[in-house]
Structure 1
């Protein structure tokens, strides 16, 4: 393996492989089909990149994520390794040129989505390439039991017919035993060598706390652990709000979500990577290709959709093998919110059919026509026209994309960003002098409370509806405000490009995929239930719970999670909390929060002990809400 190590050193500047990278590379080089289950941060890409560089020819990499493909191609190109990605939105002429480059330009990697393989002419061109390895990334997408099922993955096994002597390497970061079996069967792996790295992260303390004041607990955690941290939130608004709150408390925080421009993402990422800020507040859009070893704490302040996502996001902590924390803060209302976000917005067959028909009508596609037609598509405008709920519609369209019925070139994003750059009192003065603009301005201010502080993505259709004006009237007011120096206003032409991959057949199209929709919806409900079990179960080690979900048994407790710590506290011989509180109050009058900080006990325990002491008349509460010895 000296040549493999030389390549690792030359291109990645590492002196040794992580376990089991070397064994996977050996299996692939020997021509064997291989299955690799390596949890996040395990270095999966090296397992196909190095053997591909050691052999003549080109490695075909099948991946479902455009952003991941672009990220890996960019990283390879930075290392002067020739790589190409056939992503969506590329015209046929350009595709032909790119495939010519693969054939005659000494390229080493060709990345494409599984849907691309369904195009006969692209498959015909790939058959002529000197393929030395076929790597299937995110291989769990082939399983109906996986958290990201894509039917197009089921057709990858057809490549075995065309490349019978080329090894397949199936890679995934999250697979239960049932999903592993599906991957091997559905991809047609022949007597595969299987490598499974344990999901156990001995240095991560998994913590679950039910608490009302999440911001206060975050403050405590970040103060105690001032190293780089990530806080995962549910949506873009929560990103901005949480970042603003933490900055106001004296922490340095930035944010990352799918609605930011590439320039803004890179700027904020750089601030965090170079540790000019401590905290990255992010939606689940953040994480792809993130390799920062010294992340001390990953905090979730809202429930994740499934345990697979939670494990991956939590696993961004402690990659330097030092002790780190994965903290999930919950409150009683979180369960209802999670159900609203993840379950009640799932489209059923009837709604999916309605959305598909309306999309076809929207673009005036006749029955039996539409294949390979491409259109610019704005989700918000579409939903306003047909009075569809946005999130449920987005899920329906995303499902159609995953089934390969349509293809979306990019994430949905707003067309306009806006910020008021004069004080609020001056804006009020302007509205009083310009009553015709008042309804539109008030609708904006009510919808986007943070619009004075930051450039805010802006939904034109929403404001038009709320203010009872047309979109043109809203745009006219925005242009006027911009001219007068009241707002900073940018109009961005970044609608989604939508491509129809099939002819329009309405019920026939939807009936074909309806079974997948039903199965997916049931799976999502079961996955959320697993998350709820994780937060509710208070009699099992948290690390054990996570390992059990992924099919691993562990006989001993981790000793560092919230459950294990609570057990240690019960067995300890420390003086009671009430006695500790009385000892503290002998030195000074203190509020409940000050007591909690000093004793570092859960707020519920402190409040309960204070109530007991009050009832037994050992202490009293003063007019300034501080407690004192009686």
Structure 2
């Protein structure tokens, strides 16, 4: 193992392996198929990068995450290690050149997505490469029970036929026992060595708090813990609004979501990584490949889609081994919001059939034709033409992409971005002088609250719908506002492209893939129910609940989660609490927050005492929502 340690020190500047990296590397070097379940931050990439460097030939890495592939290739190249990624948007001629480099240029790593393996000519070229190891990252995508199932992953097994003596190293950070067993079967792993690192993170305190005023609680948490923090939200609008709210409270904050350009993403992330801001407010687009050791607090303002994602996101805290906090805030209305956001937008078989047939009509593809045809595509225009709900349609198209019926070349993004470059009072003055433009402008300002601060992606179809006008009128007004130097308008030519991978057969096509749709919808429903159970269960240690979900059993309560702290906290005498509140209200009227602050008593004790005092007619609530003595 001396050579492995030398490579680790030389290229990665670490003096020792983390458990169980060394054991996994040994297994791979012995030529065994190996399954490694290692939680976020466990150092999975080292497990294939080090043994690949110890052998002649090239390591093939299959990964679904383009951003992560690019990041790893960039990091390897910075270490002087030759690596290539076959990501989307690369023309065939360039792919041929890159594969020539792999074959004759002494490259050590070739990264590609599983979809690339569906191209026969690429597969033929790969068969001729001197492959020494096949690493499959995010392997939960292999299983239909995984939280991000991609049927293209099932094609990986054919590499077994071409490289029978090359070991498979299967890696995932989040797989239940059912998913693990399914992966082993689907990839035909030969008597694999199995390494599972416990999901238990003893230095992370998992907290769940129910509160009506989330921002106030966030303020308290960030004030008490001024170290680097991440706040996760579920949409771009909340991302921007929350960052602004935090800045108004005196915190330094930035934001990150999928709608930002690559330059903005890099700039915002750099601000946080270099600790020029305390907080980054982000959607789940943020985090892959981010390894910042001293993150103290992860706060989820909204319920996550599943516990797999939640665990990965919270796992970005406390990587330096010091105590860290993973806080989930909820209130009763969050359940309805989560169901609306995650479940009501799931396409069923009938809707999938509708979208596919409309898509074929949109591009005038005749029955029995269409294979390999490629088209430029605007999601907003497509949905507007056929009166389809945007998010549900996007989910349907994404499902068809994962089933390889179609191929989406890139993420959808709006063609236009705008920013108001005059002050708000001047905008109001313009609307008063131009009443015909007022309805559209008001819709813009209500939909995009950050449009004064930054270039904002703009959905013309949405604004047309909200303002009871048409898209042409909206775009015409934008051009007029640009000409008058009221807005800065940037038109982008970055629609998605859609490639049809098979001939049009309508219902026959959908019937073939619909069994996977039903299974995925059922799984997503079960996963959200698990999130709701975790957030509402009050009688069990939070760490125990998480470990149980991932198939682990821990005997002792963790002692640091919100449940354990509440359980171990000395209970206040209700009569004593009531007495303190009454004494306080003799001076003046207060709201519940001020009462809690002044008495320095636990929130639950204060609320319980207030309810008892109200029931006993000792106090009342006045019109200003303040408590006063009767």
Per the TM superposition, whether the score is higher than 0.5 is yes
State the partner residue of 1:200. Answer: 200
Instruction: Please list every run of 5 or more consecutive structure 1 residues that lacks an aligned counterpart in the other structure.
Output: none
| Deviation (angstroms), 1:570 | 4.9
Structure 2 match to 1:43: 43
Q: Which position in structure 1 is the counterpart of 2:409?
A: 409
Deviates more, 1:361-370 or 1:544-553: 361-370
Counterpart residue number, 1:128:
128
State the alpha-carbon separation in 1 of the partners of residues 229 and 2 from structure 2: 37
Aligned match of 1:445: 445
How far has the Cα of 1:471 moved from its partner?
3.0
Label 1:148 to 1:262 Cα distance change in 2 as closer, same or farther (>3 A).
same
Q: Does 1:300 align with 2:308?
A: no
Matched residue SS, 2:329: strand
Q: Tell me by how many angstroms 1:574 deviates.
A: 11
Aligned mates of 1:274, 1:169 — CA distance in 2: 34
Moved more, 356-365 or 558-567: 356-365
Residue 494 of structure 2 corresponds to which residue in structure 1? 494
- Contact 1:88 1:407 (C-alpha < 8 Å) held by counterparts: no
In the other structure, the counterpart of 1:422 is 422
Q: 1:270 to 1:210 in 2, by over 3 A?
A: same
Task: Flag the 1:600–1:370 CA change in 2: closer, same or farther, 3 A.
Answer: farther
Question: Structure 1 residues 187, 621: closer, same or farther in 2, change over 3 A?
Answer: closer
The one-character-per-residue Cα deviations of 1:416-447 (angstroms, maximum 9, x if unpaired) are: 22222222332222223334433332332233
Bigger shift: 427-436 or 400-409?
Answer: 427-436
TM superposition shift of 1:601: 5.0
For 1:57, the equivalent position in structure 2 comes to: 57
Instruction: Show the 5 A alignment for 1:246-395.
Output: 246-395=246-395
1:291-325 CA deviation, whole Å, 9 max, x = no partner?
Answer: 11111111111111111011111111111111111
Deviation sequence 1:222-242 (CA, Å, 0-9, x none): 111111111111100010111
In structure 1, the partner of 2:606 is 606
| CA drift at 1:217 | 0.8
1:485 aligned residue? 485
Deviation at 1:107, TM superposition (A): 1.1
Which one is further off, 570-579 or 9-18? Answer: 570-579
Report the count of equivalent residues.
Answer: 630
Provide the C-alpha distance between the structure 2 equivalents of 1:390 and 1:131, rounded to a whole number of angstroms: 43
1:399 aligns with 2:399: yes
CA distance in 1, matches of 2:600, 2:146: 40
Cα distance change of structure 1 residues 628 and 342 upon mapping to structure 2, 3 Å threshold:
closer
1:590 offset after TM fit, Å?
5.4
Q: Note the C-alpha offset of 1:371.
A: 2.3
Instruction: Name the counterpart of 1:550.
Output: 550
Equivalent residue, structure 2, for 1:137? 137
Measure the CA separation in 2 of the matches of 1:591 and 1:441: 39
List per-residue Cα deviations over 1:448-478 (Å, max 9, x = no partner): 2332343322101122333344434322321
After superposition, the Cα gap between the structure-2 partners of 1:466 and 1:386, relative to the gap in structure 1 and judged at 3 Å, is same
Q: 1:380 to 1:53 in 2, by over 3 A?
A: same
With 92-101 and 284-293 compared, the bigger mean Cα shift is at 92-101
Look up the SS of the partner of 2:569 in the other structure: helix
Checking the alignment, whether the CA contact within 8 Å between 1:307 and 1:527 is kept in structure 2 is yes
Structure 2 counterpart SS, 1:72: helix
Could you say if the C-alpha distance between residues 588 and 500 of structure 1 is closer, same or farther in structure 2, counting changes exceeding 3 Å? Answer: same
Judge conservation of contact 1:132–1:166 (CA < 8 Å) in 2. Answer: yes
CA shift for structure 1 position 117: 1.1
Q: 1:5 is matched with which residue?
A: 5
Q: Is the 8 A contact 1:211 1:603 kept in 2?
A: no
Separation of aligned partners in 2, 1:588 and 1:384: 57
Aligned equivalent of 2:567: 567
Match of 2:244 in 1: 244
Q: How far did residue 604 of structure 1 move? A: 4.6
Counterpart for residue 150 of structure 1:
150
Q: Deviations over 1:249-302 (max 9, x none)?
A: 111111110000111111110111111111111111111111111111111111
Q: Give the match for residue 189 of structure 1.
A: 189
| TM-score, structure 2 as length reference | 0.95
Contact 1:88 1:408 in 2 (8 A): no
Secondary structure at the aligned position of 2:44 is classed as coil
C-alpha displacement at 1:497, in angstroms?
A: 2.3
Q: For residues 389 and 589 of structure 1, what CA distance do their matches in structure 2 show?
A: 49
Deviates more, 1:411-420 or 1:257-266: 411-420
Measure the CA separation in 2 of the matches of 1:388 and 1:614. Answer: 50
Q: Indicate conservation of the 8 Å contact 2:574/2:605, yes or no.
A: no
User: Which range moved further: 130-139 or 435-444?
Assistant: 435-444
**Paired residue secondary structure (2:412):** coil
Q: Which runs of 5+ in 2 are unaligned?
A: none
Once residues 172 and 609 of structure 1 are traced to their aligned partners in structure 2, the CA distance between those partners, rounded to angstroms, is: 48
Contact in 1 for aligned 2:574/2:609 (Cα 8 Å) = no
**Farther off after superposition, 530-539 or 165-174:** 530-539
Deviation string for 1:57-87 (max 9, x for gaps)? 1111111222222222222222222111112
CA distance in 1 between partners of 2:287 and 2:103 (Å): 33
Provide the rounded CA distance (Å) in 2 between the counterparts of 1:605 and 1:153.
52
